[in-house]
Amino acid sequence: MRGLLHSLGALFLLLCHSQLAHSALDIQVNDADSLTNAGVAIAEPMMTFYKQNQTEGIPGKLTDTWYIAGSMFMTLIQFWQASGVDTYNSVVQHDLMFQAGENSDFFSANYSQWLGNDDQMFWGLAAITASEAGFPEVSNKPSWTSLARAVFNMQINRWDDTACHGGMRWQVWPYQAGYTMKNAISNGGLFELSARLARFTKNETYAQWAEKIWDWSATTPLLDTNVSAGLTWNIADSTSNEAGCQDAGNNQWSYNYGTYLAGAAFMYNYTNGSPTWLNRVNSLLDSTFTRFFPTSFADGTILSEVACEPILSCDRNQLCFKGYVAMWLAFTSILVPSTSDRIVPKLQGSAEAIGRQCTGSANGLDNLCGVRWHQDGWDGSLGLEVQMSALGGVTSNLMLLGRGSPQTIVENPGGAEHHIDTSGDERDPSKQRPITAGDRAGAWILTVGVAGGCWGLWGGWLRRSRFGFNVVDGIFGF
Ligand SMILES: *[C@@H]1O[C@H](CO)[C@@H](O)[C@H](O)[C@H]1NC(C)=O
Ligand SMILES: *[C@@H]1O[C@H](CO)[C@@H](O)[C@H](O)[C@H]1NC(C)=O
Ligand SMILES: *[C@@H]1O[C@H](CO)[C@@H](O)[C@H](O)[C@H]1NC(C)=O
Ligand SMILES: *[C@@H]1O[C@H](CO)[C@@H](O)[C@H](O)[C@H]1NC(C)=O
Ligand SMILES: *[C@@H]1O[C@H](CO)[C@@H](O)[C@H](O)[C@H]1NC(C)=O
């Protein structure tokens, strides 16, 4: 009898235990161990999705998207630096380098005909994150900084003075629909990459470009700083060349604010505390808090992607934004110490909320996170993107505990920059090569070939459009 009671007790405990595994993740925002454990619990299913969703086993290529794996590596590198958990380092090292492609510039011919500048930019951010984190280099390959520099150099070559007196177009090639517009993430993202390259390498060229991109952005609605009293700065998602970049696709996305904010924070730190950059940081911080931390969620301390989260309509790109923004807010708190008191409660409130949200179980996976951090209990969404976003939210709190400070070349001398020749990659794949007399006989074959190629491209565009990409808003990448 005693024995039976004992067994029943054990069974009860077992049940309780498995029940606990499905209840809230224990997140103590001031305790690095609890944050680390939560990060691991969230990363595990993320990596399962990563393996399942790879296209034909190509390292770092997810089906129907290319850049999201890059931003996932960025997140994992930041998590490694802040937690010391190196479980995923070898896969990140290998797959991130693999996608740098034939010419080490994140512009592999496999994908380059479809890309937006923002797609390539995210890989550049992953690379500079590796340098700042002191992530191990790959032997006999270019340094992470060199990869980030290659992205920067290719992109500034695409700086477009033919419309709106400057700016990055959204898409790279003229045959792409987004070629005729300029958008916030392509410009803000290159601004952030430039600012981070400047601070890491101490090479002034990058700082000059950061200034230039900021200044140009501020002549357009992509960075509207001319607001009347009582209003906050506004970042529109896109603007069109046709209207001289004075019109606005004014959807409000957190990452557009976050990327300009992070870049401004790096510039503030790089300039050793310039008051101009401090004012910019504080203004963007006000805008970010006002828009993306609704007062109805725990007194304005939980990050929310307000344009799509309430009705669960976020596409896979939008599902990721909060994770980036959380880590960029943590950078801001670290690099601009006077902002810390305002940022910390918002990141802590968000992490506590993540602990209550990431309780889903499905398909043999636990600790699944949904979209709405503010909702107690899993909201039923699942996938790599929502896991990554939550991992960013947890990581941002580890960073606040002093484990995620971005290094510079002084602390990480192995991360020196070197030149990578990318000149062969900037050819428009739709452009016919000039036909010489000797080529005449074969000219029709070439024409048919090019037409066929374009037809193939068009088919690709249609396929792409079916995945809910919205051409007008210009918010996504491939
Ligand atoms: C490009 O595509 C080929 C064929 O599918 C594949 O073997 C290769 O690994 C791909 N390269 C990259 C960088 O994705
Ligand atoms: C600074 O960066 C630019 C852009 O990548 C590069 O052309 C230049 O050589 C760099 N300067 C040094 C001293 O490395
Ligand atoms: C803001 O004001 C400046 C200076 O008057 C002007 O150049 C810029 O175009 C304005 N920006 C917007 C978005 O109206
Ligand atoms: C720059 O960032 C470091 C943290 O990496 C911080 O200690 C320092 O105070 C910042 N500089 C300024 C001028 O705030
Ligand atoms: C890819 O991931 C999604 C979740 O984001 C999942 O529903 C889907 O089944 C996966 N696709 C494959 C081919 O495994």
Q: In this structure, what CATH number is given to the domain that contains residue 282?
A: 1.50.10.20
The residues lining ligand 3, judged by C-beta closer than 6 Å to any ligand atom, are: 219-221, 224, 226
Identify whether 154 is part of a domain.
yes
Contacts of 192 (CB under 8 A, 6+ apart): 125, 259, 260, 262, 263, 266, 328
Position 22 scores a pLDDT of 59
Residue nearest to atom 1 of ligand 5 (CA): 53
Asked if residue 157 and residue 38 are part of one domain, the reply reads: yes
From the CA of 406, the nearest ligand is: 4
Residue 437: band (very low, low, confident or very high) from pLDDT cuts 50, 70, 90: very low
Determine phi and psi for 366, rounding to 5 degrees: -115, 175
Asked if residue 282 and residue 153 are part of one domain, the reply reads: yes
Residue nearest to atom 2 of ligand 1 (CA): 110
Residue nearest to atom 9 of ligand 1 (CA): 58
Given a cut of 50, whether residue 189 has pLDDT beyond it is: yes
Asked if residue 443 and residue 421 are part of one domain, the reply reads: no
Given a cut of 90, whether residue 467 has pLDDT beyond it is: no
Identify whether 300 is part of a domain.
yes
The residues lining ligand 4, judged by C-beta closer than 6 Å to any ligand atom, are: 269, 272-273, 334-335, 337, 405
Q: What's the mean pLDDT in 190-203?
A: 98
Q: What's the mean pLDDT in 216-242?
A: 95
Q: What's the mean pLDDT in 36-64?
A: 96
Asked if residue 314 and residue 231 are part of one domain, the reply reads: yes
Asked if residue 465 and residue 336 are part of one domain, the reply reads: no
Q: Which of 276, 334, 408 is the best mutation target for the ligand 4 pocket, counting ligand atoms within 8 Å of the beta carbon and taking the most?
A: 334
Atom of ligand 4 nearest to the CA of 338: 14
Identify whether 11 is part of a domain.
no
Determine phi and psi for 10, rounding to 5 degrees: -65, -40
Burial-class residue 183 by CB neighbours within 10 Å (0-12, 13-18, 19+): buried
Asked if residue 447 and residue 414 are part of one domain, the reply reads: no
Q: Which of 50, 53, 62 is the best mutation target for the ligand 5 pocket, counting ligand atoms within 8 Å of the beta carbon and taking the most?
A: 53
User: Could you list the residue range(s) of the whole structural domain that residue 448 is in?
Assistant: 438-476
Asked if residue 371 and residue 254 are part of one domain, the reply reads: yes
Measure the CA–CA gap between 54 and 165, rounded to whole angstroms. 40
Out of 19-33, 168-182, 250-264, give the one with best mean pLDDT.
Answer: 250-264
Identify whether 356 is part of a domain.
yes
Residue nearest to atom 6 of ligand 1 (CA): 58
Domain count, the chain: 2
Measure the CA–CA gap between 336 and 31, rounded to whole angstroms. 23
* End residue of a domain, out of 382, 398, 425: 425
Asked if residue 417 and residue 446 are part of one domain, the reply reads: no
Q: What's the mean pLDDT in 201-226?
A: 98
If you measure from the C-alpha of residue 350 to the centroid of ligand 5, how many angstroms do you get, rounded to a whole number?
A: 26
If you measure from the C-alpha of residue 332 to the centroid of ligand 4, how many angstroms do you get, rounded to a whole number?
A: 10
Position 171 scores a pLDDT of 94
Given a cut of 50, whether residue 146 has pLDDT beyond it is: yes
Given a cut of 80, whether residue 208 has pLDDT beyond it is: yes
Asked if residue 388 and residue 269 are part of one domain, the reply reads: yes
Given a cut of 50, whether residue 98 has pLDDT beyond it is: yes
